[in-house]
Structures are given as C-alpha cells and as structure tokens.
Structure 1
Amino acid sequence: MRKLIALLLVIAIAVGGWWYASPLMTLKSMRDAGLAGDAEAVSAHIDYPALREDMKKEMSLLIARQAQTDPGPLGEAGTAFAQSIISPMVDRLITPESMAEMFDATRQAQGAPLPALGGEKELEIDRQSLNRFTARAEGEEAGLEFARDGLSWKLVGVDVGEGSSL
C-alpha cells in the first residue's frame, strides 16, 4: 500500500512539474530556435491554421473597435474595405516562409528573435487551463496564446489586448 501511495505521489509531482515547466521550456525552445535562425524549429511550435483564424478574428475586432470612433460614411467604407482584405492578407502573412523571413530580419536587425519571446522584459505565463496558456512580456497587455498539443505546446493565437487599436 505504501508503494502505491509513493508511486501516486511521484506521478502527481511529475505531472505538476510538467504543467509548470513545459510552457517555459516551449518558449525557450522557440527563442533559441529564433536566435539560431532555425525557422523550421520555430514552425514546429506553431499551429498555422489556428493562428491564421485567430489573427483574422483579432484584426476584425480591432477594425470594429476603430470603426466606432469614426461612424461616418467614410469610416464605414474604410471598415468595409479593411474587413474585405483581412482574410487574404493574414493567409499570405502567416506562413512558415514568412515566419522564417520575419525571424531572419529581426535577428539581423537586433540580434534577438522577438521581444515577446524574452527580449528585455521577463515573461509572464497566464494559465487558463491545463490545455491553454498566454505568454506576455511583463507589464504588457498583448500576448501569445498557446494550446497543448500532446505533451508539447503550439502557438495558436495572439491576444492583442482590450486597449489596442490600429
């Protein structure tokens, strides 16, 4: 009986340790891959279809928020135009190839992959559940949303925050 209790305790500690440490390990892996210019390794941590859908939703919400500040006919026309180009724009921008280019350009410009992946500020991990977390730079409203994929995590969205605008 004692062996069973000890085994269950070890399993509980291992699961708790994984739950606590695995988001940090994923972010470190992404940062290291970005620093190395390994776009393929970064892409392994990104769910592109989910990220595209989330970006379309977030951009639509930002445009709708912005439209409330300019309710006239020109504002409506601008909103309609912006809404019509969101989907094709996001589909072209959120690809493994564009992510590779972005990481290369950022790395060459400043020697680091992305501020959101651990630049000058500490990262804060906000766990929504066992299957989701958001990583934010300390004091920032915007963050990167991750979902569990087996025993690892994948980037599935971007939380731009409530106060963000275009």
Structure 2
Amino acid sequence: MKAIHLKLGIAALCVSAGAAYWYYSPLIALHQMRTAAYDNDADSFNARVDYPRLRASAKAQLNAAMHEQVKPRIDDGNDVLAKAGADFGKMLSMVISDQVIDTLVAPDAVLGAFKLGLVKSGGGSRSTPDTVKPDPKYTSERVGLNTYIVHLESGKPGVRGLSLVMERHGFASWKLAEVRLPTPAAAPN
C-alpha cells in the first residue's frame, strides 16, 4: 500500500515538474538567447530564431509603415496625379523594403541587435562592451498555448516599446518569430 502511494506521489511530482517546465519554457528560451548573445555563441542563438518568419513579419511591418507614408495627402479623391504618385511610391517601397529586410534580418545582424539591447559599449575606441546594462523593464503575456509576447518598456509612460514574439516549436521549445516595432504617435494634420 505504501509503495502505491509512493509511486503516485512520484508520478504527481513528475507531472508537476513537467507542467512547470512547460509553463516557464518561453522565459527559459529568452534567457538562453540572452546568454548566447552575451557569449557570442551564434549557433546557439540562431537555433532559437525562426528567420523566415522574422523576415516575413518585418517586411509586413515595414511595407505597412511605408504605405502609410506614401498615401496621398490630398482630400480630393479624384486627383489622378496624387494617386499615380502614391502607387509608384508603394511599388518602389516594396522593392526597397524587401532588400533592406533581407540584409537586416540576417543571423549576424539579429545577434548584434539583440546583444546591443544587453550591453552598452564603453567610450573610446574599444569595440568590446565593458559594462552590462540593467535588465530592461518589460511586461509579458501568453496568447493561447503557442505564443508568448514580451513587451519592453519604452521609457515613456503608457507607451509600449519593442515587443518580442516567441512561438512554440514542439513541447517546450520556443523560437523568436516576430519583433513588433513600437507604433509611432500619429502626427497632427
């Protein structure tokens, strides 16, 4: 009888430990990314980034921002020249943004950008960082079972900064799939 209770207790402990690991696995993955970036371990860092998804989301965000900027600024909906200029601007922005994103969302660039968020470089001509920044303040949220979002504070009250979107790959493996840029405040017309 005692053996059954012992086995049930061990099984309950194992299930609890597995559930806790599953629940905290996105934070563990972020910590592993941070450690890999700080140690310049590109292989370990790149294993935790879904580059095709990251490129696709960055292209979509940049295209949306560029489309917003090239909208005709005229209230008259019949201005053919303004519409033609906006259409040409949209077409040109798509070509340029695809090339820019492909360059910026390369493994070395993402590792460098992630590392810049962790350390600040010292003055002078040294290229290696010498001091660690304090941990940035953030809030996080779990969206469903497969998405975990970390919102970094921007330093301005009530305004969210950059957001890192982690997605589940497997039981407790997570990859960075999207970086959401902060939305700029609307400019007065």
Instruction: Normalising by structure 2, report the TM-score.
Output: 0.66
RMSD over aligned Cα, in angstroms?
3.3
- Which residue of the other structure, out of 152, 165, 172, is the alignment partner of 1:145? 165
- What displacement does 1:66 show? 2.8
- What displacement does 1:145 show? 0.8
Cα deviation 1:143-164 (Å, max 9, x = unaligned): 0111111221101111224446
- Which residue of the other structure, out of 75, 83, 95, is the alignment partner of 1:84? 95
1:126 and 1:164 map into 2 onto residues whose CA distance is 23
SS at the partner of 2:70? helix
Map of 1:26 onto structure 2:
29
Instruction: Normalising by structure 1, report the TM-score.
Output: 0.74
Map of 2:39 onto structure 1:
36
After superposition, the Cα gap between the structure-2 partners of 1:57 and 1:8, relative to the gap in structure 1 and judged at 3 Å, is farther
2:175 and 2:37 map into 1 onto residues whose CA distance is 15
Cα deviation 1:10-58 (Å, max 9, x = unaligned): 3552343123321111111111111122222211110111111111111
1:143 and 1:164 map into 2 onto residues whose CA distance is 16
Q: Is the 8 A contact 2:166 2:176 kept in 1?
A: yes
- What displacement does 1:3 show? 6.8
After superposition, the Cα gap between the structure-2 partners of 1:16 and 1:69, relative to the gap in structure 1 and judged at 3 Å, is farther
Q: Is the 8 A contact 2:70 2:86 kept in 1?
A: yes
Cα deviation 1:63-117 (Å, max 9, x = unaligned): 22333474646555433322221112212221223334546777573638x9xxx
Name whichever of 131-140 and 46-55 sits farther off. Answer: 131-140
Q: Which amino acid aligns with 1:24?
A: L
Name whichever of 30-39 and 135-144 sits farther off. Answer: 135-144
After superposition, the Cα gap between the structure-2 partners of 1:62 and 1:2, relative to the gap in structure 1 and judged at 3 Å, is farther
Map of 1:109 onto structure 2:
121
Q: Which amino acid aligns with 1:145?
A: V
| Aligned 1:10-21 pairs, distance under 5 A | 10-21=13-24
Q: Is the 8 A contact 2:34 2:115 kept in 1?
A: no
Task: Give aligned-pair identity as a percent.
Answer: 24
| Aligned 1:30-69 pairs, distance under 5 A | 30-68=33-71
After superposition, the Cα gap between the structure-2 partners of 1:125 and 1:20, relative to the gap in structure 1 and judged at 3 Å, is farther
- What displacement does 1:127 show? 0.6
Aligned length: 161
After superposition, the Cα gap between the structure-2 partners of 1:67 and 1:9, relative to the gap in structure 1 and judged at 3 Å, is farther
Work out which structure has the larger RCO, using CA pairs closer than 8 Å and 6 or more positions apart in sequence: 1
Q: Which has the larger radius of gyration?
A: 2
1:62 and 1:159 map into 2 onto residues whose CA distance is 12
